[in-house]
Chain A
Amino acid sequence: MFKTLTIARRELMGLFYSPVAYVVLVVYLLFVGLLFALLVLAPGAVADPGPMFAWNHLALMFVVPFITMALFSEEYRSGRIETMRTSPLSDFSIVLGKFLGALAFYCVIIGSSLIYVIILSAFGRPDFMPVITSYFGLFLMGMLMVSVGLFFSACTQHQVLAAISSCAVLVTFGILLQGIGGLLGSIISQPPAWLGTVQRVMNYMSLEPQMQHFSMGLVDTSHIAYFITGTFFFLMLTYLVLESRKWR
């Protein structure tokens, strides 16, 4: 575990050295600031930062791939992977270390949005419990997003390809699944029974309904299970990709 944390710390530091990470931070703050100004800070509105958190995934699904794209790709390209994999470290420590490092940076990014909560509390008295559950939801969603990004970074030595692939998958989870589910329901006039099941599955797999619940202060174990199993699934895939590279 000590070695895993050592890798995590280096990855976190590496991200702070990277200019891309700061660009990503600024883009995220701008987007959340826009949500805050349009949805929360409206005159006469209730002091509820919920809408700001509920739509956070729209920015994060484009932001996170830029954090994760270099995690493995750059190691492959530079040849540092050889130094790393000939050190007395298990592949799982490497995967977990990089995951935790990127997740820590993700936490810094979402933590920066606290500034808007502070501004809101200067003008009103928001309920802090939904704020806490929202951050909890964002953290869980970050775990899934980072693991997806990590997986695609482990698949290729081209950072841009890793970022685009991660974006594609995250957009599918963030918008497309729910959109397609809704579209199917609207174009088929007499939907068969199985279509309802498909729609429910698609809805469950989408990020937006999950985040809506968290932003309303609802902590549903099915949502927690969704993020944790998804994270575990992609971390295992990353581990398998890394293992399989040995045999090529």
Chain B
Amino acid sequence: MASGADIVVKNLTKAYGKFLAVDHISFEVPKGSIVGFLGPNGAGKTTTIRMLTCFMPPTSGTASVAGFDVFTQSMEVRSRVGYLPENAPIYTEMRVAEYLSYRGRLKGIERSALKSRVESVCQKCWLGERLRWPIGTLSKGYRQRLGIADALLNNPPVLILDEPTVGLDPTQIRETRKMLADLAGQHTVLLSTHILSEVELTCQRVIIIGRGKILAQGTPEELKQECARRNSSGAKLVVEVRGPAQQVKMALGAMPGVENVEILSDGPVCSLSVNGKLDGALRELIASTVVERGWALREMRTTGTSLEEFFVQITDPGATNPSLAA
């Protein structure tokens, strides 16, 4: 196992007959980090997660979690992983505290420590006021929180969360993100999600999976840069200036590194799109030139380099494997 990694996956494969749901994937999740696991529906995310949580064995390859092999040391892995499955299936007839106590006993928490652990996770997941409520009467958001509380119950070193913010309202989503950010350092988190903004805000690294293969992995910034690099003709700087459009166009076109300037809209406030080497120096130069000429700079933004665009591009069935899929 590589030192400093809590999840190590090597050539992991899952085949259903001739269909390869997961096709020789390899990745690592560093200790104490939050890693986003992204992919479109049917990409192999849940299958990979199920293999990592020992729900199903791999067809070939190896994976270790918290230093234990998922196939040969399943019980050690299971006692060190907090897992939130998709849709958080729970016994609806039980009450919140009762369910968590039941789960705690199954996870081997000492009777003396059980009550304090239940209270602690309930506080962390904002369930304090619902302790006596039957689960069947809880909203989906509360059930999701209960699933997260269950995953945190035995304070496991590794957390694997499958769509933890599904069904939550915007405030709860923000709070869950904050909670996940707080968990970094104490726990290693593998977060499967479709919500790209969530990944950008909470994850230190991102793994993108598609058609059973790892398509890209790196930090969100690295992926955005890769998107800009692959998409050099597509990445544009949109500048909105209060000033004469033609003069602004000429001024921008004369700048070093600028290949092409196009007027998007004319009027008292004009909008122009700039192609070329769109680095920080160019943006600074544009800002200072606009001010020097007595025009007003209203907006400057880069398009074509967001994680979302990269995700769409990379998971497109016609896309080729980029260099970041190391």
Q: How far is the CA of A10 from the CA of B105 in the complex (A)?
A: 11
Q: How far is the CA of A83 from the CA of B102 in the complex (A)?
A: 12
- Which of A3, A14, A88 is the one whose CB lies under 8 Å from B91? A14
Q: Are A82 and B106 in touch, CB under 8 angstroms?
A: no
Q: Which residue of B lies closest to A5 (CB)?
A: B105
- Interface SS majority for chain A: helix
Q: How far is the CA of A246 from the CA of B50 in the complex (A)?
A: 10
A229 at the interface (CB under 8 A from B): no
Q: Which residue of B lies closest to A74 (CB)?
A: B91
- Interface SS majority for chain B: loop
B127 at the interface (CB under 8 A from A): no
A86 at the interface (CB under 8 A from B): yes
A156 at the interface (CB under 8 A from B): no
Q: Are A14 and B105 in touch, CB under 8 angstroms?
A: no
Complex interface: stretch among B77-85, B208-216, B231-239: B77-85
Q: How many residues of B contact A (CB 8 A)?
A: 26
Q: Which residue of B lies closest to A6 (CB)?
A: B105
Q: How far is the CA of A18 from the CA of B92 in the complex (A)?
A: 11
Q: Which residue of B lies closest to A78 (CB)?
A: B89
A192 at the interface (CB under 8 A from B): no
Q: Are A80 and B107 in touch, CB under 8 angstroms?
A: no
**A120 CB, min distance to chain B CBs, angstroms:** 37
Q: Are A88 and B108 in touch, CB under 8 angstroms?
A: yes
Q: How far is the CA of A30 from the CA of B213 in the complex (A)?
A: 61
Q: Knowing A14-B91, A85-B55 are in contact, say whether A79-B85 is a contact too (CB < 8 A).
A: yes
Query: What are the residues of chain B within 8 A of A78 when measuring CB–CB?
Result: 89
Q: Are A6 and B50 in touch, CB under 8 angstroms?
A: no
Q: Are B93 and A14 in touch, CB under 8 angstroms?
A: yes
Q: Which residue of A lies closest to B82 (CB)?
A: A86
Q: Are B55 and A86 in touch, CB under 8 angstroms?
A: yes
User: Which of chain A's residues 1-46 have a Cβ closer than 8 Å to chain B?
Assistant: 2-3, 6-7, 10, 13-14, 17-18
Q: How far is the CA of A85 from the CA of B93 in the complex (A)?
A: 20
**B225 CB, min distance to chain A CBs, angstroms:** 37
Q: How far is the CA of A17 from the CA of B79 in the complex (A)?
A: 30
Q: Knowing A79-B85, A80-B90, A82-B55 are in contact, say whether A88-B105 is a contact too (CB < 8 A).
A: no
Q: How far is the CA of A86 from the CA of B89 in the complex (A)?
A: 13
Interface string of A68-95 (1 = CB under 8 A from B): 0000000000111011011111100000
A123 at the interface (CB under 8 A from B): no
**New A-B pairs, 18, CB < 8 Å, besides A86-B53, A86-B78:** A3-B105, A3-B108, A7-B106, A10-B94, A14-B91, A14-B93, A18-B93, A82-B85, A82-B89, A83-B83, A83-B90, A85-B55, A86-B81, A88-B78, A88-B106, A89-B106, A246-B55, A247-B57
7 closest A-B pairs by CB? A79-B89, A88-B79, A17-B93, A86-B53, A80-B89, A88-B78, A6-B105
| A residues whose Cβ falls under 8 Å from a Cβ of B | 2-3, 6-7, 10, 13-14, 17-18, 78-80, 82-83, 85-90, 246-247
A sample of 8 inter-chain contacts (CB < 8 A) reads A10-B91, A83-B85, A85-B54, A86-B54, A88-B106, A90-B75, A246-B55, A247-B57
